[in-house]
Amino acid sequence: MHISRTLLTALLIAATTLGAPNIPLEARKRQATNARTDAVKEAFLHSWNGYTKFAFGFDELSPVSNKGTNSRNGWGASIVDAMSTAVLMELDDVVLKQLEHIKTVDFTNTATTVSLFETTIRYLGGLLSGYDLLMGPYKDLLPSNSTTLISSLVDQAVILADALAFGFDTASGVPANNLNFANKSFTDTTNGIATTGTLVLEWTRLADITGNRKYAELSQKAESYLLRPTPSLGEPFPGLLGTNVDIKTGQFIDSRGGWGGGTDSFYEYLIKMWVYDEEKYGLYKERWIAAADSTIKHLTSHPQPRQDITFVAEYQNAQTLSLNQGHLTCFIGGNFILGGQVLSRKEYTDYGLALTSGCHHTYDSTPSSIGPERWSWDPRNVPAAQSDFYARNGFYTTASYYDLRPEVIESYYHAFVATGDEKYREWAWDAFLAINATARTASGFTAVSDVGQENGGSKFDNQESFWFAEVLKYLYLIFQEDGKVGFVKGAEQKWVFNTEAHPFKVRN
């Protein structure tokens, strides 16, 4: 399935463009990649139009039943999350509609619990990125009378951050994550390192745009406990931490971790803060290097039947590895490649490429050509029904769904930029075709139940806002020629992506 689809695409491109005589090779390649950015744009508009028709103003569309749902406080998460992608695609009508809506949202009011982390990465991130892009390289995208609309992005970001700020009001300054806006209360006693350590880029950017240091200080105070973890159980390997912190004391309470959900983007932001400002965030870089070196040394794992494949293990503590990986972890390839480029350290780039190949392998092995949510390669627990699959592929599936996650394609993007190897574009195109073939509905794209079936199993009726923010953005960027904004090969970056793929201008 996988091979035939790839071949078919290659043949189609050959027939329509590459085969055309008298057109120089560079121009032919450009036509082929333009056809691909057009296809990704078509997918974006398909989802956006379905959302607009059936669920505008809701957080997301249920793309099977064609209803709106609110999983992110009802502030229109898909609108805010889709904006930076719409700007990069230069969809000016879409962006204007988004801005008009965002201006009307009351970010202080919601009946449901607010996640400080999710709200920061999706809403604050989306608002600030829209501002950076529309005031910067895309300042001519909208009519000149749109400046008030654009600056309302920052006004709304300030209102939202001020509404969230009581979450940091704990004895240590490590915030609570689950906030009740109605009575400004929370019941959390602990917080994870991802939910604590994936605020600092957004809140620091907000401080720099507004000139109000408070936002940077709150997030950096919280981060300080993660940069200097105590007690020692919180750092089972140099630079690799436990998962949870007591918000009263800022002390770690466990030693388990890895690069999976709950811890992942804490490590991601260590290097990204340094990209944001090399002068100010040297300690963040040092901590990323410590984590990266320990990961290479202690967590690298090759499945028994497939020594050619590289995965990264999780750990219960310094003694006990757990041979599991998840789709979420697959951003790690891209993060190592980013680190390798900005630090001019080839070993990190090479390691990132190996991990990217490992994640590609999970896509390449399934009948749907999409990788599973989680898998294992622990030889002691292979389920009988998957023993042949394990012997052939070196892993077995432990959670079979696909939730429109971006991480594998995110790593392809970094791999392509760093190497220029067209192979990574082919992998991204294969993933796109597979998702388009299995997850597409009449009004959008949905999570699917089982990547182990050629048709993806059943459709879950859920289209997460990160489909717009991340999957479609990284797909668009990997095929785009001469884009204005993105990751670039080498050490000098002008943009840094938050964990939701919203690009921020680096500090200058």
Ligand X SMILES: *[C@@H]1O[C@H](CO)[C@@H](O)[C@H](O)[C@H]1NC(C)=O
What is the pairing mode between strands 321-322 and 314-315? antiparallel
| Span of 138-146, 244-252, 255-263, 445-453 interacting with ligand X by CB under 6 A | 138-146
Q: State yes or no: is 264 an active-site residue.
A: yes
Rounded least distance, CB 285 to ligand X, Å: 40
Rounded least distance, CB 177 to ligand X, Å: 15
DSSP letter for 255, please: -
45 counts as binding ligand X under rule CB under 6 A: no
149 counts as binding ligand X under rule CB under 6 A: yes
71 counts as binding ligand X under rule CB under 6 A: no
Catalytic hit among 314, 373, 403, 464:
373
Rounded least distance, CB 427 to ligand X, Å: 15
The site string for ligand X over 173-212 (x = CB under 6 A, - otherwise) reads -------x-xx-x---------------------------
* Whole-number Å distance between alpha carbons of 422 and 481: 13
Rounded least distance, CB 451 to ligand X, Å: 18
Residue selected from 19, 143, 379, 420 as contacting ligand X according to rule CB under 6 A: 143
Q: State yes or no: is 492 an active-site residue.
A: no
399 counts as binding ligand X under rule CB under 6 A: no
499 labeled binding residue: yes
* Whole-number Å distance between alpha carbons of 342 and 496: 11
Residue selected from 4, 145, 307, 508 as contacting ligand X according to rule CB under 6 A: 145
**Which helix (DSSP H) or strand (DSSP E) does residue 445 occupy?**
none
* Whole-number Å distance between alpha carbons of 58 and 436: 24
Rounded least distance, CB 51 to ligand X, Å: 17
Burial letters 390-414, b for 16+ CB under 10 A, else e = beebbbbbbebbbbbbbbbbbbbbb
Residue selected from 18, 135, 216, 433 as contacting ligand X according to rule CB under 6 A: 433
Residue selected from 440, 484, 494, 507 as contacting ligand X according to rule CB under 6 A: 440
Rounded least distance, CB 171 to ligand X, Å: 17
Residue selected from 6, 300, 436, 449 as contacting ligand X according to rule CB under 6 A: 436
* Whole-number Å distance between alpha carbons of 250 and 255: 14
Catalytic hit among 59, 60, 81, 118:
118
Residue 75 makes CB contacts below 8 A (sequence gap 6+) with 59, 105, 107, 110, 123
Task: CB nearer to ligand X: give 221 or 440.
Answer: 440
- DSSP helix/strand/coil, 232: helix
Catalytic hit among 59, 208, 223, 264:
264
* Whole-number Å distance between alpha carbons of 271 and 291: 10
**Sheet strands side by side (includes 324-326):** 324-326, 374-376, 396-399
* Whole-number Å distance between alpha carbons of 175 and 167: 5
* Whole-number Å distance between alpha carbons of 467 and 488: 23
Q: How many residues does the chain have?
A: 508
> Which amino acid appears at position 477 of this protein?
L
Task: CB nearer to ligand X: give 366 or 443.
Answer: 443
16 counts as binding ligand X under rule CB under 6 A: no
Q: State yes or no: is 407 an active-site residue.
A: yes
31 counts as binding ligand X under rule CB under 6 A: no
Catalytic hit among 132, 407, 410, 500:
407
**From its phi and psi, is residue 115 left (phi > 0), alpha (psi between -120 and 50) or beta?**
beta
Residues engaged in binding ligand X (CB under 6 A): 39, 143, 145-146, 149, 180, 182-183, 185, 433, 436, 440
Catalytic residues: 118, 264, 373, 407
Residues making up the annotated binding site for Ca(2+) are 499
